[in-house]
Amino acid sequence: MEANRQRIKYLFFILVLVGAFTQSCRKDSIYSATDAMLEFSEDTVHFDTVFTTVGSITLPLKLYNNYTEALLIENIQLQGGDASQFRINVDGESGINFSQIEIPANDSLYLFIEVTVDPNNDALPYVIEDLISFTTNGNLQDVKLIAYGQNAHFYYGQILCDTTWTDDLPHVIIGSVLVDTLCALTITEGTNIYLHGGSYFYVLGTLNVLGTKDSIVTFQGDRLEEFYEDVPGQWEGIYLLRGSFDNIIRYAEIKNANQGINMGLSTNPDVTSFYENQPELIIENSKIFDCQLNGITAINCKIDATNTLIYNCGGSNSALFLGGDYYFKHCTLGAYSSDYLAHQTPALGITDYFAYSLDLTLQNDLTRADFTNCIIYGSIAEGNEIVIDTLNVPTVFNFNFSSCVLRTDINPDLLNDTGCFFNVDPQFANIGERNYCPTVGSPAINAGIAIPISPVLIDINGEPRPFGATLPDIGCYETSTE
């Protein structure tokens, strides 16, 4: 009797194992009806403008099987074949033709698409098209692929000398450029410069950016898809190196960089070089924004900034190290958090020192740091958007704030201020929509002073100052109160 019991237990155990094995190996039955159709996440995959020879981002297309049985795709084919400028990847494999792709019941599959556009002679963007066809149980379906190609001038690590860039085509920098010593690069109105990831714009000589009110010059990343429009850190920045001189930036937008403008680094390892050959910059009617780090970094430099708006920076809007000579007139430094950046660093930093290495800190005179009719305001939790610091007792450390709107917990008596507003909201029109024009009722309106030497007669938009008032507005914008 006991032997029979053991035999029954053994047979039951075997049956359980066989059943489990059979169940685990069972595959979904294939839906074989002639009406079998896939569903797609979209019927057309659009790529925004793509520069010729530069690959696009990768876009997904999702294939859905909404049946209670598995669906067998007999064929997936890129219609353009080997000649197509598009590329597809199915289930981890790249190619132009795929067969016998199964999607389990009530499941889905991703297909990934890229494009690299071949150049032609067109100045304007042109259309690239293809189709991906899907055959399921004899039923043919198509998904359209559309991209807009853009020819451009391309630069791969060139050294430039006495050159002019115009707006005939975009200028795309892949792997950095350098304006050489004693050489000039002039960029005329309306010119668009796009920089690939990791690219620097180095200047040892002179950079002349000559935009106009109605035709600005832009520096930005080379990803033109809408997703990347506001993303910081897409390229490294404009670097005005030690010895660079007579630089002018007028009516320009500098965006999407790690640092908008970095001034004062030296190609000479000798520390004494940081006390010599101050880089010089005049910047007017320009915007610097969406920077991963600082908007402007300057190490013992000379800057004359007028009607300049700096905002949405992960670091400081302006960080001025190792002394120097700085004059900011009618500038707005708006420091707030955004979708990509958390505002934690003061908008403005001024020091007479620079940490050259872990064991060496340099110090130098701050000849001048004057801020007239400027707004320096933001949302930092501590409430102090201004840091002013010295290494030791300085020989020369001159700074002044005149008719400014400031957010700071520094004692006004220590800021050498004249007629400034402290911790009074400038009432920007709409920070979320990037509108830093003060609204009616702002303390900035009609509260500036007339600048006797080199008066500022227009605002950042080229509108006259003031609008029917005896005094101009503080900041880069003149607000109409009519």
Identify the DSSP state of 13. H
Q: Are residues 289 and 199 in the same domain?
A: yes
Q: Are residues 209 and 340 in the same domain?
A: yes
pLDDT one-digit tens code per residue, 314-328: 999 999 999 999 999
Look at residues 106, 126, 149 and tell me which one is the last residue of a structural domain. 149
Q: Find the farthest-apart pair of alpha carbons in the chain and give their distance in angstroms, rounded.
A: 117
Q: Are residues 318 and 183 in the same domain?
A: yes
- Residue with the bigger pLDDT between 344 and 57: it is 344
Examine residue 186 and state whether it is found in any structural domain, yes or no: yes
Examine residue 129 and state whether it is found in any structural domain, yes or no: yes
Q: Contact, 291 vs 259, CB < 8 A?
A: yes
Examine residue 22 and state whether it is found in any structural domain, yes or no: no
Examine residue 453 and state whether it is found in any structural domain, yes or no: no
E-strand ranges in 7-96 read 39-40, 44-51, 59-65, 71-78, 86-90, 93-95
Phi, psi of 167 (to 5 degrees): -95, 25
The whole-number average pLDDT for the span 30-41 is: 92
Examine residue 295 and state whether it is found in any structural domain, yes or no: yes
pLDDT one-digit tens code per residue, 77-120: 999 999 999 999 998 899 999 999 999 999 999 999 999 988 88
Cα distance between residue 129 and residue 147, in whole Å: 6
pLDDT one-digit tens code per residue, 54-83: 888 899 999 999 999 999 999 999 999 999
Q: Are residues 223 and 353 in the same domain?
A: yes
**How many independent structural domains does the chain possess?**
2
At 12 the pLDDT is 43
At 28 the pLDDT is 65
At 420 the pLDDT is 96
The whole-number average pLDDT for the span 452-468 is: 88
At 52 the pLDDT is 86
Q: Residue 176: which pLDDT band, with cuts at 50, 70 and 90?
A: very high
Q: Are residues 242 and 281 in the same domain?
A: yes
What's 91's domain CATH number? 2.60.40.10
Q: Are residues 214 and 333 in the same domain?
A: yes
DSSP codes, 374-424:
-EEEE--TTS--EEEE-SSS-S-B--EEES-EE---S-GGGTTEES-EES-
Q: Residue 481: which pLDDT band, with cuts at 50, 70 and 90?
A: low
Beta strand 86-90 with 93-95 is antiparallel
At 482 the pLDDT is 60
At 11 the pLDDT is 45
Residues whose CB is less than 8 angstroms from the CB of residue 16 and which lie 6 or more positions away in sequence, other chains included: none
Cα distance between residue 49 and residue 227, in whole Å: 12
At 27 the pLDDT is 57
Q: Are residues 145 and 156 in the same domain?
A: no
- Residue with the bigger pLDDT between 23 and 44: it is 44
Identify the DSSP state of 70. B
Tokens of 118: 């071949």
For residue 24, pLDDT over 60 is answered with no
Cα distance between residue 122 and residue 2, in whole Å: 92
Q: Are residues 140 and 169 in the same domain?
A: no
Look at residues 133, 149, 165 and tell me which one is the last residue of a structural domain. 149
E-strand ranges in 52-137 read 59-65, 71-78, 86-90, 93-95, 97-103, 107-115, 126-136
Q: Are residues 136 and 162 in the same domain?
A: no
At 224 the pLDDT is 87
Q: Are residues 392 and 426 in the same domain?
A: yes
Tokens of 408: 């700071």
Question: What long-range pairs does 422-425 form, CB within 8 A, spacing at least 24?
Answer: 423/383, 425/377
Look at residues 124, 149, 174 and tell me which one is the last residue of a structural domain. 149
Q: Residue 466: which pLDDT band, with cuts at 50, 70 and 90?
A: confident
Cα distance between residue 69 and residue 65, in whole Å: 9
At 157 the pLDDT is 93
Give me the residue label for tokens 């700071």.
Answer: 408
Q: Are residues 112 and 234 in the same domain?
A: no
At 6 the pLDDT is 52
Segment among 303-307, 371-375, 395-399 with least mean pLDDT:
395-399
Examine residue 139 and state whether it is found in any structural domain, yes or no: yes
Examine residue 163 and state whether it is found in any structural domain, yes or no: yes
Q: Are residues 279 and 168 in the same domain?
A: yes
Examine residue 7 and state whether it is found in any structural domain, yes or no: no
Q: Provide the whole-model pTM.
A: 0.84
Most confident of 296-305, 382-391, 457-466: 296-305
Which is it for the CA torsion 312, 386, 401, 362, positive or negative? negative
User: Structural domain of residue 75, as residue ranges?
Assistant: 39-149
Enclosing H/E stretch for 12: helix 2-25
Q: Contact, 139 vs 131, CB < 8 A?
A: no
